[in-house]
Amino acid sequence: MSPIDRLRADAADLLRQGRAKVVLGYRQRGGQCIPVAVTDPEAAGALAWDPACKQNLAAYLRKPEVRRLRPVALVARPAVMRSLVVLAAESQVRPEDVVVLAVGDDGEYHGVLDLAGTAALLKEKYADLGHDAAAMKRIEELAAMTPEERAAFWAAEFAKCTRCYACRAACPACYCERCIVERNQPQWISTAARSHGNYAWNVIRAFHLAGRCTECGACEAACPQGIPLMLLNVGLAADVERQFGAKAGYDAEAEPVIGSWNAEDPEEFIR
């Protein structure tokens, strides 16, 4: 049986046995790979998988309509598996409510796992996931520019931003019921699609993800304007690893990077 056929068979079994009330996966529609929710075991044959499947299905766990269908099974590639571990570490998901249909980025299928099994798989097979090479290269190029050149680069990118918040909606780590941009006493971040608000929004969202982002790329894929958001998130994830030795999504007991501290944290920039 091919990996995708095994995945479909497992999905159907999970539903038949009541081990999951819904399977969140992907289906092909024309040239697009889009999310699908399967509740009928006979419909599991529609499940598909390819690297174009960018939307991070863990983002659906914040929807009460989805949680009502728990246990929820979801098709997860390594970055998505890591998202689930982050959600568990942040008490947003209970281990008994989630079942994982684990796939590798290359299409390999690892079978049905619970959250503990998922964390074990990540440590065993995906512990050395590097940061996206193309993004790192671009980040290095930007780092070699002057601050003014960098400011001009990002000003041009953020000028495209319409403040649709697709980046936020696509992200499993953005689960706040009231986002910082929706707070208006005071209005910390301008809601107007202008340079100051767009700068603040994109920078603060990246910052709120520091130490929590698993570099799945769903935000950049979701952005209808083609803004290279991963340059911000990968840059910060690389910083988190370099400065604090931390990588999000491997340890469900880990303390959040920004919420914790170490007496030996770096401070050479502090006068």
Which residues in 226-265 contact another protein (CB under 8 A)? 226-227, 231-232, 235-236, 239-240, 243-244, 257-263, 265
- Residues between 135 and 164 that touch another protein (CB under 8 A): 139, 142-143, 147-155, 157-158, 160, 162-164
- Return d(Cα 227, Cα 156) in angstroms, integer: 10
Q: Which span sits near another protein by CB under 8 A: 117-125, 130-138, 168-176, 247-255?
A: 168-176
Residue 2: CB atoms within 10 A of its CB come to 9
Q: Does 266 bind another protein (CB under 8 A)?
A: yes
Give whichever of 84 and 119 is closer to another protein, judged by the CB atom.
84
- Return d(Cα 26, Cα 75) in angstroms, integer: 8
Q: Does 94 bind another protein (CB under 8 A)?
A: no
- Return d(Cα 227, Cα 224) in angstroms, integer: 8
- Return d(Cα 47, Cα 35) in angstroms, integer: 9
HSE-CB for 265 with a 13 A CA cutoff: 13
CA angle 133, 134, 140 (to 5 degrees): 90
- Residues between 74 and 93 that touch another protein (CB under 8 A): none
Strands 22-29 and 32-38: antiparallel
Binding mask 193-232 for another protein (x = CB under 8 A): xxxx--xx--xx-xx--xx------x--xx-xxxx---xx
Task: Give residues with Cβ within 8 angstroms of 138, minimum separation 6.
Answer: 228, 231
Give whichever of 126 and 201 is closer to another protein, judged by the CB atom.
201
- Residues between 15 and 34 that touch another protein (CB under 8 A): 29-32, 34
- Residues between 46 and 75 that touch another protein (CB under 8 A): 54-55, 59-60, 63-66
- Return d(Cα 44, Cα 41) in angstroms, integer: 5
Give whichever of 116 and 180 is closer to another protein, judged by the CB atom.
180
Beta bridge partners of residue 32, listed in sequence order: 29
Q: Are 172 and 83 in contact (CB under 8 A)?
A: yes
Give the nearest distance from C-beta 203 to another protein in angstroms.
6
Q: What is the DSSP letter of 48?
A: B
Give whichever of 128 and 271 is closer to another protein, judged by the CB atom.
271
Q: Which residue has the tokens 């049905």?
A: 112
Give the nearest distance from C-beta 239 to another protein in angstroms.
5
Give the nearest distance from C-beta 55 to another protein in angstroms.
5
Residues that contact another protein, how many (by CB under 8 A): 88
Give the nearest distance from C-beta 117 to another protein in angstroms.
27
